Every structure is written in C-alpha cells, then in structure tokens.
Structure 1
C-alpha cells in the first residue's frame, strides 16, 4: 500500500508541474499531427509509385539530413534557451506545412514537395529533439525522471492510437492536402503551448565558451568513450537499428500494401497495437524501480523482439504456403505489434533515463551525439531494405533479417561493460 501511495504522489506532482505539462501537451499535439502526416504521405508515395525503393529513399533523405543537422542541434541546445529553440522550430514547421498545403491546393502537385518538406522537417527536428530531451531534467526532480520519461515516451503511443486510425480515415476523406493543413496547425499549437513554459536554465554556473560545433561534438565523443557501457551500447544499437528500421518502415507497409492488398486503415491498426503495447510497457516501467537494473530491461526488450521476429517469419511462411488467409495474417500482425511496442518501451525509456543522468550542461550535445551515432545506420537500413524488398522474396528477406537480429542480441548479452549502465 505504501508503494502505491508513493507512486500516486509522484504522479500527482508531475501533473501539477505546469512547465512539464505545457511541454507534455505541446509535444502531444505536434506528434499527433506527425503521425497522421507520416501514415498519409507514406501511403501516398507507395500507392503512386508501387516501389519500396522510392518510399525508402524518401525516408532515408529525412534521416540523412537529420544526421547532418544533429551535431548543431545538440550544441545549440546547450548554448541557447531550450524553450525558445523548441518554439522557433515548431512555428517554422507549422509555416512550411501551410505553404506546402497552399501550393498543392492551387493544383501544383509533385513528389518533390515532400522531399523539400522532409529536409526542412528533419533540420527542425534535429534542433527540437535534443532541446526537449535536455529540458526535462530541468523541469522535474531526479527521482521523477523515470515517470517523466515514461509519460513523455507515452505521448508517441497515445498519438499513435488516435493518429494512425485518424490518418487512414483523414487521408481517405481529405487527401494529402487536408493532412498537410492539419499537421501545420498541430505544429503551430505546439509552439504556442511551449511559449508559456518558464525559461528554466541549467544550474551549471559556467558560461558556455565560444567554440566550433565540431570541437564541442569531439569533446562529447571523448566524454562518451570514457563511459564504456554507453559506448558499447551505442555500437550494438547502431547495428540493431540497421535491421529494425526496414522491418517497420519498409517491409511491414510493403506487406500490407503490395502482398496482402489491404487499405491504409487496416495497416494503421498495426501501429495502434504497437502504441498500446508501448503504453503498457511504459506503465510497467513507471511502477518498477530502475536503480541498477537498466541493462536488464534493455536485454529483456531485445529478447522479446527476437521472439517476435521469429513469429513474423513463421507467419509469412505459413501465408506464402497457403496455410492461412490474409485476414489471419493481419490479426496475428496486430498481436505481434502489441509485444513489439511493449519491448520497445523496455529498450528506449531506460536508455533515456540513463542519458539524462549525465551532466546537464553537456546533456544537449551528448544526447544529440548518441542519437546521431545510433541513427547513422537508419538511412543505410532504409535504402538497403527497399532494394532487397524489390529484388528478393519477402520470406527470404525476413529469414536473413531474423537470423542477424538474433545474432546481434546474443552479442549484446555478452558485452559485460553494458552492465555498468
């Protein structure tokens, strides 16, 4: 009973934290628009091109631009007001969405509009993410970090539940132009919400010295190498990202669009299921103690993902052999997605908590550096996934992917330095 009382008090204090809740509401609104936008644009491009490579190249473009801009975003998050950096990037994104909506509304339709949007959104995202992540430890107490990160991470799950279904429906009803307008509005509302956050800064009294972005990034790399557990984790995560990214960004939509021939609404249910699973995982993590067991939770999440990879592989083998129908495949995919979401909560939330316990005056650039190193593999995975999808049978692709993922998971279990996290 005492534990429940303490948990209840912790949750109440967070909900009464005006600054944290303004950040929470702002991120919720903008991410809801993002989910609707991503499913609509992804389905739009895949439908008009019928090519996994075209879709993967579009996604990879955003990832590459993000990687190039991330070093600047991390350094800026430590040198300027994190609040106003977030406000500025949200309002810029809202503005360019509105311009794109107007261009397409007057009849100028081109896939290049989405390429330009991908570049601008990625640059703004590279500035926004480290600023928002580094702001959380300044708004809540250290003992509330796990709960705060669980709530913050749960935003994506909640918005997925509503946004993925709404994305399929709104894309069918309003088309891609209407979705652009809604996403622009969501960014604008998010920026307005963030304006009312008190401009809290790090308690570190040292004034930031003038230096180059690359010098600051290099110093962060040196610091990170001294944290042997983090460095090993990043290297393994980069390789795992190489395999996970195409599975959920290329293979799954291709299976639903080109193999199962479903509509976007059915595909959106998979994302909703993953969001529900993530919420469950975040709730479980919020109720557990985190001290000294972060690495165990990460390993548990990866082990569950390995099992789901095997399950999905078996599912496609049975379907290609004619033992089950497409409707059954959709149902089993939804079940698998719940476990995928649960697993991801046990991987990403503990990592965020561990990172946010690093020195706050370095947190923006270190957070950005970690994200950059892990995401280097994303564009490679997207393009490679698009190529192999168009060249090989999906069952073969999943077989190789599953084997490699299990191999990497086993290798992570053998890295002793990760136990220090």
Structure 2
C-alpha cells in the first residue's frame, strides 16, 4: 500500500485548511465507515440467528460475542500506541482488509452449514482486534483532515451515520435472512469491509511523527497514561465517559424488565422504544450538523444530567407513549453528549496522542459493562431470571416438542417458565406455565 511521506499527522493537509466537510478525504472516510458499520450490524443480527438455529443454544453466541469485545478492552490501549505511530491510512485499510477476510471465513462456514466453535471464536477475535485498531485510528484522523471550526459538524455527521446504521441495520439483517439466506447475508459484511478498504486506499494522509529513539510500545503506553493523568480536563472527560457508560449499561439491562413488568407490553413495544431512542440520536446529530456549536465541558455535564432526568421520569409516567417520548429524548441527549465529547477530545489532545486517548475511551466504554452487570441491584431470582421470547413458525408436532422442552427448563435452571403458542390459522392460543 502506498503512503505519503511528508509532515507528521499533527499538521493538517493543505486541502483540509481550504475546505470543510465537503473535502474529499473526510467524505471518503465517512462514507466507507457507514458502509462497514452497516455491514457489521447486519452481520451481528444474522450471525446470532444462525448460531442459535444451528446449535440450538445461545452459548456459542456468547463465546463469539466475548471474543469480539475482549480485544477492545485488553489490547486497545497498546493498540492506541501503534495507531499513533503507524500511518493511519495503513491502519484503516489494513484493518478493513483483515476484517473482510475474517468475516468471509464465517460466511464460508455458513455456506457449508458447519459451525466450528474454535474457528468462530478466532474469527470473532480477529474482528475485535481490527475494531480495537480501527476506531481510535478513524477518530484521530478527523482532526487531520477537517478544519478546527468544522470538527463539531464532522463528529455530528459521523455519529449520525452510526445511529442510522443502528436504526436500519437490524431490520435489514432480519429482512435479508429470508430474502437471500444466511450465507449470503453474512457475506454482505465481508463485502462491506472490502468496499471500505478499497475506498480508504484512495485517501491521502500524512504519516505520523516517528517514535523517539529506543521508544518501545510500553514506553509509549506509559507516556500516554502520564499525559492523561496530568491533564485535568482529559482526565475528567475519561472519568465522565466511564460513569456514563456504567449507568447506561444498567438502563439497557433493566429496560426489557421495565417493558414487560411495568408497562405490561411485549417485544413489539420494546423494539419501538429502542427505535425511538435511535431516532432521537439521529435527529440531534442532524441539528448539530446544521448549526455550529462550541463544545464546553459544562455543556457535557448538562446534557448527561438531562439524560438522567429522562430516566428518572420513566417510573413517574409508566405508559408506553411517555416511554417512547422519554426514550427519544434520552437518545437525543446522549447523542449530543457523544458529539461534543469526541469533538472536545480532538480539540484538546495533541495529534500524536489521539490514538492512545481514544483507545482508552473505547476500553472504558467496553470495560464498564461487566461491573455494571455485576453491581445491578436486581439480583432476586424472580427478577434477574433470563427473559426469552421465541417466535416459532413450526408444524404442530415440532411446536409440541418445543413446548415440552420449555416445560423441562425449570427442573434444570430453577426459574419459572411461561410459554404461549399461537396458531395463526385457527387463532388459538395455547398456554404453558411451569413453576419451580
């Protein structure tokens, strides 16, 4: 891969000084990012469906999910050092190319209808490593190709595309399964990475400043930690990032229980609430793109405080319409927080340290999940028990077998189970309940 040889990344390219968001490099990066992001969301939906159908268990899906997220928390900080040293164009292109190969290997398994767990876990780990390098590289590239007064709009556009992918991706993945089949649907992700790599190979970026003589990855990592601990604003932003993710994960855990037990609604209402949250995030990023904003730490505090108030209002107005409105408001406020957060980091952190700082940001976001799950106050078995909703379109005999299997779950898990079978032809409902 060819790379430019000139000034370090900290200096901006001439064309980025003349132009704004319409300049070619940023548009290419943003467009390729939405293509690969959408492919990833589709891939996650289709892979989860295929693994459950193929293995009859969610255990394999859990292994694959863990393998895909652990690299972000484990190797992410050290990957940030490499991102700061390497040519960021090389990082973007190489990670997308390797991710395309990993996604292709999983699609090939679906074509042969074989689910080799070790291969799946290894492929997911490779995808996680690529993500751990790609995300900080992509965020740290933006200040190098966008004028300082346009950073807010650039981040609003990037976040808007991410929210749009979250909004459209699940429905697209669910539609592709019956339309083209699981193998072809999984192949979409590999193709999206390949398209993204090819597009980013055309961009022009200046290389990073060379590391000091004898400087190791560990020394670079320690230098990044010293900077983050020394700079109070950066340190406070990272602490705020950890707290926000910690409490938002708890909200995601509690939401299904709130919908089913407080609102007395089903999966359709749960889906509608998640959609409303994503729509709020999309709308606020559109507003940020249209109107320039000056990021201030105090604004971040106000946005996240307001988001907390929307969560506190949920039990005050326990109705579905109110929950939809509050979810949209929360999505908008969190979207505003994310946009200003990334912009502020890009403005205050030197270009040669951005990869390290952003890798810590993503490590904190992922690392906040286990503690949030572990310290959730709802530990009573009746409340903390898994809630699974299955929609089965099966012949009578297979439906009976499925209900019989559900009936045996209490003896194994100790949890109460309730099942309902709905026959679309006769419109008859068969209830099955089994206690402890």
TM-score (norm 1): 0.75
Q: CA deviation at 1:135?
A: 0.9
Q: Give me the whole-angstrom Cα distance separating, in 2, the residues matched to 1:189 and 1:338.
A: 33
How many residues end up aligned between the 2 structures?
366
What pairs with 1:126-205 in structure 2 (closer than 5 Å)?
Answer: 126-174=132-180, 176-201=182-207
| Deviation for aligned residue 1:361 | 1.4
Q: In angstroms, what is the RMSD of aligned CA positions?
A: 3.5
Counterpart in 2 of 1:96? 102
Cα 1:15–1:127 change in 2 (3 A) is same
Q: Give the one of 353, 356, 377 matched to 1:362.
A: 353
Asked if structure 1 preserves the Cα contact closer than 8 Å seen for 2:152 and 2:343, the reply is yes
User: Distance between the aligned counterparts of 1:286 and 1:313, measured in 2?
Assistant: 33
> 1:13-412 to 2 correspondence within 5 Å?
13-42=19-48, 59-109=65-115, 114-174=120-180, 176-201=182-207, 208-248=212-252, 250-252=253-255, 261-262=266-267, 269-291=272-294, 294-313=296-315, 329=320, 333-357=323-347, 358-382=349-373, 391-393=381-383
Measured in 1, the distance between the counterparts of 2:324 and 2:214 equals: 51
Q: Is the alpha carbon distance of 1:85 and 1:389 closer, same or farther for their aligned partners in structure 2, counting shifts above 3 Å?
A: farther
| Greater relative contact order, per chain length (Cα 8 Å cut-off, separation 6+) | 1
Shift of 1:36: 1.6
Q: Is the 8 A contact 1:234 1:374 kept in 2?
A: no
TM-score by length of 2: 0.73
CA distance in 2, matches of 1:152, 1:333: 27
| 2: CA distance, partners of 1:334 / 1:168 | 23
Shift of 1:161: 3.0
Mapped to 2, the partners of 1:389 and 1:367 lie a distance apart of 34
Distance 1:274 1:116, change over 3 A: farther
What residue number does 1:5 align with? Answer: none
Who wins on radius of gyration, i.e. which is larger?
A: 2
1:276–1:112 distance in 2 versus 1, CA, 3 Å: farther
Deviations 1:377-410 (A, max 9, x none): 224335666x957935269xxxxxxxxxxxxxxx
Q: Distance in 2 between matches of 1:271 and 1:217?
A: 37
1:112 & 1:254 partners in 2: Cα distance? 34
Q: Compared with structure 1, are the counterparts of its residues 40 and 389 closer, same or farther at alpha carbon in structure 2 (3 Å cutoff)?
A: farther
Contact 1:46 / 1:55 at 8 angstroms: preserved in 2? yes
Alignment correspondent of 2:400: none
Deviations 1:107-131 (A, max 9, x none): 2136666533431211110111111
Could you tell me which runs of 5 or more consecutive residues in structure 1 were left unpaired when the two chains were aligned. 1-9, 319-323, 396-421
Deviates more, 1:26-35 or 1:298-307: 298-307
How far residue 242 of structure 1 moved from its aligned partner, in angstroms, is 2.2
Partner of 1:406: none
Aligned mates of 1:270, 1:110 — CA distance in 2: 36
* Change over 3 Å in CA distance of 1:304–1:167 after alignment to 2: farther
Q: Which residue is equivalent to 1:416? A: none
Aligned residues of 1:57 and 1:382 also touching (Cα < 8 A): no
Structure 2: gaps of 5 or more residues = 1-15, 386-436
Distance of 2:304 and 2:178 partners within structure 1: 36
| 1:332 to partner: Cα distance | 5.3
